[in-house]
Amino acid sequence: MIVYICKMEKVEIKLLNKWYPLKYQNKLKGRYLIQDDILPLLNNLPSSFDVNKIGESFLKKDIYSVSFGNGNKKILIWTQMHGNESTGTKALFDLLNFFATKHELSKIANQILETCTIVCVPIINPDGATAYTRVNAQNIDLNRDVIDKKAIESSILQDILKEINPDYCFNMHDQRTIFSVGENNNPATISFLAPSVDQERTLTDGRKQTMEVIVSMNNLLQKIMPNQVGRYTDEFYPTATGDNFQKMGHNTILIESGHFKDDYQREQTRKFTFYALLQGINFIARENDKNNYKAYFDIPNNEKLYLDIILKNVNYKDKKEDIGILFKEKLIEGQLYFMPKLEITGNLSSYNANKIVNNSGLSFLNKIELEKWLKNEFN
C-alpha cells in the first residue's frame, strides 16, 4: 500500500526576504496609526476578504473585522487594544498583503487558506489610537476589562470571540524600549507570552499548545535576529484578556513588538512581527507539526535593562553618575514627538542603550537643567 502524505510547506526565510520589501503594506508607516489610515486599505481588499462592521467605539468610530480562508481551524487576531501600540497593525496589513497577492510563497498562503479561517480586528481601540493613548476614550485599559466589560470595545471583542469560537488568538501589543532580553543587553525586539489560566500557572494542554506555536515563531526569529526575543512573566492576571481567553479554551498568543537598534518608527520590528505572525499561523495550519513546548522556557525572560540613551560619568547634583534616559512619545497636533526624560541615575554598567555617550564632560545641577539640555540635544 502506498500512503501519500500531503506535505505542508514551511516558511522559507530566503523567499520571504525577497517578497517582503516588494510587497509589504507601504501605505502604513510610523508609530501614529489611526482608523482613517486603514479604512482605504480595507476597501481595497479583494472580494475573497470579507470586511464587516462589527461595532462602534465609545466615540462612534466604526470597528471592522476582516475574514478570509475556508478552513476548520479558526484564528482570531486583534491589534491596538492599547491605542498607541501600532506595530501589530502594520504587521497585520503586511499579512493581508501576503494573502491578497500571488507570489513564490503562494503555496503556503493557499495551504493556510484551506486549513484555517482567519478573522482580524485591526485597531479594536480606535479612540485610543486617535488620541495616542493606551486607554480608550473612557480611560479604560481594555486589557484589564475582560470581566467588567465597562468599555464598549471590550464587548465588541468578546462578541466576535463568541461568534468565531477561535482555536487560537493573537493579541498584538507594543512594549517600551526599556525591555531587554534577559541580562544579555539586547533590546527585546519581540516578546511572547503564553498566558496562565490560574495562580498556579498550571501547564494545561491549551497552554502547551500555545507554547508550541511560540517556540516555532521563536525558532524562525532567532535565524534573522538572534538573541532579541524575550518572554514575559506568566504571573496570572485575573482581569487580563489573554489569561481569560486562554482559560475559556482559546489558545492565546501575546506578541509584544519592541525596540530594534535605531528603529524608532518600528519599521524593522514590524517586519519581524509579520514574520512571526505568518510563521505562527503556518505552524497552526500544519497538522503534523509537533514542537517541544518545553523550549518555551528557554526563551530568556524580559528584564528592564535597556534605555534610549545613557550618558556616562556625568557630574549630576555634585556626584559622578550615569544618567539613563527614555523617550516618551507625545502627540502634538497630529505629530508624534519623542521627548527625552530622565529614567534612572547611578551606576548603569549593567544597562545597554540605543545610544551611549562616554566621557561627556557634562555637568548638571539638577533635573530641570538636565532635561532642558536633553531637549535641545535630542529633540
Taking CB atoms, the residue at the shortest distance from Zn ion is 173
Please state the closest distance from residue 82 (CB atom) to Zn ion, in A: 4
C-alpha cell at 185: 543587553
Please state the closest distance from residue 179 (CB atom) to Zn ion, in A: 12
Q: Where are the alpha helices (DSSP H) in the chain?
A: 13-23, 35-43, 87-100, 106-115, 126-131, 152-164, 205-224, 241-247, 267-285, 367-378
C-alpha cell at 241: 484578556
Please state the closest distance from residue 79 (CB atom) to Zn ion, in A: 10
Closer Cβ to Zn ion, 133 or 219, answer by number: 133
Closer Cβ to Zn ion, 117 or 241, answer by number: 241
Q: Return d(Cα 336, Cα 84) in angstroms, integer.
A: 11
Please state the closest distance from residue 242 (CB atom) to Zn ion, in A: 11
C-alpha cell at 330: 507625545
Please state the closest distance from residue 49 (CB atom) to Zn ion, in A: 26
Give the interface with Zn ion as residue ranges (CB under 5 A).
82, 85, 173
Closer Cβ to Zn ion, 85 or 127, answer by number: 85
Closer Cβ to Zn ion, 132 or 364, answer by number: 132
C-alpha cell at 250: 482559546
- 302-303 and 190-193 beta bridge pairing: unpaired
Yes or no: say if 62 and 53 are a contact pair by the CB < 8 Å rule.
yes
Closer Cβ to Zn ion, 176 or 208, answer by number: 176
Please state the closest distance from residue 366 (CB atom) to Zn ion, in A: 33
Please state the closest distance from residue 12 (CB atom) to Zn ion, in A: 31
Closer Cβ to Zn ion, 171 or 218, answer by number: 171
Nearest-CA neighbor of 136 among 79, 61, 63, 58? 58
- 306-316 and 352-357 beta bridge pairing: parallel
Closer Cβ to Zn ion, 82 or 271, answer by number: 82
The Cα diameter of the chain in Å comes to 84
Sequence-distant (≥ 6) Cβ neighbours of residue 125 within 8 angstroms? 57, 80, 81, 82, 83, 136, 142, 153
SS3 content of the chain, % helix, strand, coil (to 5): 35, 25, 40
